[in-house]
Amino acid sequence: MNTLILLASTSSSSKLETEIKNGFTTQLLQWHGLPKSLLPISGRPALSWWCDVAKTLFENVYIVANAYNYKHYERWASGHNFPTDHILNCGVSTGAASDIAFVHRVKKCGTGAMIMGTDFLYDSDQDSWFVDLITELATKQTTTNHLFTYGADDNNHSLLLSTISYDTLESLVESPQNSTLQDATKDNNTTSQVQQPSTHLYMDDSLSLDAYISTWLDYFGKRRNKSSSSDKTDVLEVKAYARVGLMGNPSDGFYGKTMSMLISNFWAQVTLIPHDRSEPEYSNVTIMSNPVADPRRFSTIDSLANLVQTDGYENGDRLLLACCKVFYCYCNKARINIDTQQGFKLLFDTNIPRQVGLAGSSAIITACWKALLKFYRITAEQIPLEKQASLVLSVETEELGIAAGLQDRVIQAYGGLVYMDFDRQFVEEHGYGRYEQLDVSLVPSLFLAYVARPEDSGKVHSTVKQRFLNNDPEVIEAMEQFASFTVKAREKLIRGDHHGFAQLMTANFEQRRKTYGDAVVGAPNLRMVELARKHRCVAKFPGSGGAIVGMWDGSDEATCQQDLLKLRHDLESEGYVFVELAPMDGET
């Protein structure tokens, strides 16, 4: 027999499920509605302790759920590497016999099947005899049915396991019976008593909430080693910094060339806290919300409404979730072994201004990525920096559908000042571009100004991307022009020609204004550039809009500080924020 059917179709609630439903503490609320078999035992759903073993013993494992608990089991399957099409929804169960017939009708159990309940909790240390029994039964071809019961009281046995022949399955399909399994097979079965599982009290319908919390919530915890040389204990705090696009943007998303620099003024920090073996959630991964960026608690409902009105519904948690998923899937695909036995808590903090094109979301993802690299001890030899940048980009573009280019992820992977060539043929062949790290000291003193209350920076890209995909000659030519500015800017910096670099910054902005139009560029952005030019400065967008990066370009050095001070005052008087930039030298 190569098929196991686990029945979770009963509509009646156990005592434990009822007591949880009637409680409203923070702990109980997170368990509301969960079937008993999906309640946590030492950090894992009870069902997982048996199902992980069962998948190695059977070719097919099916779970029969009902219309009320199906979504719970489907969600469990999605998170535990269990095929969701093996979770079968019987609607409203009319009895175990009909549920088993339903599985055979839909999936065809060719050699018969073994039947169990989903609330079986497997203890590999004390109940290895059960696997031996399963293994022995699986090799036998039989035309009879066998029921295996347990219980210390001869008059009160509980059913643990049944083996049902193919002929019986066929008869159940042909003549549906709304009955128990025992009644449906009573004319052709034998019953044997087996050893009582060490976990039989958990399977008892009379299990109380108090007993569950005191005995079963961390049942396996006592067996975890107190320490292990492979355990990580250090809290990891990893920063990724904001960046300014100095030249060529936005051509990074159009196979162009750009130059970008990290700044130490703003950063995102991800904190990874490894679980200790003493914790029931030792293997769990928990994404903790940021109370400022991702609040879950509000002083009043009007506070909730006001915050949503300002910040919208999208939050940073999704960035961490998507990053962890891409990281794990890539390691799995690349056959990079990571030990998933130890879990962690993950949270982020950031002071990067939102929606002003400084790569704030990319910084959060990059910091998360670097924290995962450290936790799982993965080196740049295993995942090269250029590949890391492409993977971080895929978190936003492929997982979350956020419009983005490679520039941000490259600079946050490499650090310092980087010249980037996104030649189309090279990128399509390798999945990344050609990158050259330059000396940060080549860059003149820069300032940043940004809108205090910005709109979504993603809107600035407008329809240009689609026009590019449609081979619009005007857009193609514009992106080539941006790329040429970057080539020239690299030469100007190497030669120390800051005035020439400033002229290219102006050219970059004017080309962007021409390509996107003033309506898309936006009046607040145009005003910042206008004020900069009023005080002998040049400026351009460091990203997709909402901020400008600039430099003084006057002829008399003696007026530089006074010009910048006046510019600052003018910007601040109109509600903008002014910052003198501090470059971040070297790798982050």
pLDDT at 143: 75
Comparing 3-7, 372-376, 446-450, 462-466, the range with the smallest average pLDDT is: 462-466
Residue range 383-412: mean pLDDT, rounded: 89
φ, ψ of residue 250 in degrees (nearest 5): -100, 30
- pLDDT above 50 (res 578): yes
Spatial separation of the C-alpha atoms in residues 411 and 586, rounded to whole Å: 10
Encode pLDDT of 473-482 as tens digits: 999 999 999 9
- pLDDT above 70 (res 10): yes
Residue labelled with tokens 């009319």? 94
Determine what percent of the chain is predicted with pLDDT higher than 90: 64
Q: Taking a C-beta distance cutoff of 8 angstroms, is the pair 226, 242 a contact?
A: no
Contacts of 227 (CB under 8 A, 6+ apart): 277
pLDDT at 458: 42
pLDDT at 172: 86
Specify the pairing of strand 257-274 against strand 417-421. antiparallel
- Maximum average pLDDT range among 85-94, 101-110, 225-234, 238-247: 238-247
Q: Taking a C-beta distance cutoff of 8 angstroms, is the pair 246, 549 a contact?
A: yes
CB atoms within 10 A of CB 587: 12
Encode pLDDT of 63-92 as tens digits: 999 989 999 999 999 888 899 999 999 888
Residues 428, 429, 431, 436, CA torsion sign: negative
| Confidence class for position 455, pLDDT limits 50, 70, 90 | low
Residue range 302-310: mean pLDDT, rounded: 84
Instruction: Output the CA–CA distances (angstroms, integers) from residue 135 to 2, 8, 431, in the order listed.
Output: 10, 23, 47
Residue labelled with tokens 């400026």? 539
pTM exceeding 0.85: no
Encode pLDDT of 166-218 as tens digits: 888 888 888 766 667 777 666 677 888 999 999 999 999 999 999 999 999 99
φ, ψ of residue 21 in degrees (nearest 5): -60, -30
Q: Taking a C-beta distance cutoff of 8 angstroms, is the pair 88, 50 a contact?
A: no
- pLDDT above 80 (res 223): no
3-state SS, 138-207, equals HCCCCCCEEEEEECCCCCCCEEEEEEECHHHHHHHHHCCCCCCHHHHCCCCEEEEECCCCCCHHHHCCCC
Q: What rounded mean pLDDT belongs to the chain?
A: 89
Residue range 227-246: mean pLDDT, rounded: 85
* DSSP code for 13: P
pLDDT at 19: 95
Encode pLDDT of 487-513 as tens digits: 999 999 999 999 999 999 999 999 999
Question: Is 119 assigned a catalytic role?
Answer: no
Alpha helices in 351-406 (DSSP H): 360-375, 385-394
- Angle formed by the axes of helices 360-375 and 407-414, nearest 10°: 40
Of 313 and 192, more confident = 192
Residue range 328-352: mean pLDDT, rounded: 93
Q: Taking a C-beta distance cutoff of 8 angstroms, is the pair 279, 43 a contact?
A: yes
| Confidence class for position 537, pLDDT limits 50, 70, 90 | very high
Tokens of 139: 């090799």
Alpha helices in 153-300 (DSSP H): 166-174, 181-184, 200-203, 209-211
Catalytic residue among 123, 218, 294, 408: 408
